[in-house]
Copies of this chain bind each other. A is one copy, B any other.
């Protein structure tokens, strides 16, 4: 047999590349479970590799249980089999509001932000290779050159009028009836959330949040001295309005925070009906809703999911989002549509940092005015979908039996449940030692609920390096 001789390095690279190519096409849905894969000859031709290399790639995928050979018929994508079932939600037991105390762990997780030495499976943000960096740089150079120093002066507290207008246009696409005067520009969605919670809460108040939820929200609650009423989120459909209603009946809350579109970390998407119902039941109780919509622009399907804000008739929904997941994380530009709380939100902005940096506002306003954003989003969604599919398939091949993973319809992160007995913190620490950034699951709740979970994210193109990283993670997870 040819496989007895050790393959040369370039052969290995070619074979990996072929395997990944097939994997990503499976992941992208081109070949659904049960579908017939291209013949070895077709693969060899289309990828310009030898028949032997194509054959090795198929053998490897077969070994991992992802595809199967049927005599005289060729290769097929396996149905079910060694797939990745959906992770389980938190148990449905009502719990009293809890003081948040997650700082130590969160600080460790946050230390990965901006650390270029780690393999980037920990921070949910698009990597520069899939962003229009050179174009944004040229636009920035142009607006500063032509701006006659306007970038040097403070913009008005609520932001540059031209950018507020562009953001209002974007929100209209999401079905929200907003005008430029409803928009307050912030330093990213995190600042929008921060403004919303400072406007709505006092220390000692309680806030309803999904569990799991983005750990920075928990950190924010902790620094504000606000308690959490955790409502479980289902990896598929997000927060159930009935669960929320139940929590509101039991506890007095000052506000509710939700991420209805591709919740971080579980990737869940609430249905149109659930969104409408949540807005209705909160409005009935006069409880404001803080809506995090940072992933709303990143669906894999053809149309953008709607928002709770689109159902808001009372100005009770404070919608928060940014360009950090779509265009320029490091530019720190986001916004809040604070509804009836605009005056208070402006006061918080002015007493926090007066206004958002002018140069980045000017350049983004210019970029958005050209219809370029929609085209860029289209590409980015495709990249995210393919990469996430590859990541998911790689996980299913490399992670130990019993692992589960979310199968989100948008965004760029996976919520991974380790096999029973698995420890996310342990894996996080081992991964970091191996130069891989991931986030342990238990930082996403206050009660160690998700101790056997990790969040993996990938905001760039799928690479050999990432694949090797996931392989290492799988090995570390199997070690237990």
Partner-B contacts on A (CB < 8 A):
103, 107, 110, 113-116, 123, 125, 127-129, 131, 133-134, 136-137, 140-141, 144-145, 147-157, 186-188, 190-191, 194, 198, 202-203, 216, 219-220, 222-223, 225, 328-333, 343, 346-348, 350-360
Contact = CB atoms under 8 A, between A and B. Distances in A.
A129 B354 CA distance: 22
Contacts of A354: 113, 188, 190, 216, 332
A186 B352 CA distance: 10
19 contacts: A107-B346, A107-B347, A136-B144, A137-B141, A137-B144, A137-B151, A141-B145, A150-B330, A152-B330, A152-B331, A155-B330, A187-B332, A187-B356, A194-B351, A202-B225, A219-B347, A331-B358, A352-B352, A359-B360
Nearest to A123: B154
> Which DSSP category, helix, strand, loop or mixed, fits chain A's interface?
helix
Copies in the complex: 2
Contacts of A115: 156
Contact of A186 (B131, B148, B343, B353): B353
A110 B350 contact: yes
Contacts of A140: 140-141, 144, 359
A332 B353 contact: yes
Contacts of A191: 352-353
Contact of A347 (B141, B223, B330): B223
Contacts of A348: 223
A136 B152 contact: yes
A188 B354 CA distance: 8
Contacts of A222: 351
A358 B103 CA distance: 25
Contacts of A186: 353
Most buried by B among A107, A137, A150, A194: A137
Nearest to A224: B351
A330 B152 CA distance: 4
A199 to B, nearest CB: 9
Contacts of A149: 128-129, 131, 133
Nearest to A204: B203
A257 to B, nearest CB: 13
B154 A329 contact: yes
A219 B353 contact: no
B141 A330 contact: no
Closest 4 A/B residue pairs (Cβ) = A128-B149, A330-B358, A141-B141, A114-B156
Contacts of A332: 187, 353-358
A25 to B, nearest CB: 27
Contacts of A125: 153-154
A222 B127 CA distance: 40
A103 B141 CA distance: 38
Given A114-B355, A141-B141, A216-B350, A328 B156 contact: no
A397 B137 CA distance: 50
A223 to B, nearest CB: 5
Contact of A330 (B103, B129, B145, B151): B151
A360 B187 CA distance: 13
Nearest to A129: B149
Given A140-B141, A219-B351, A113 B331 contact: no
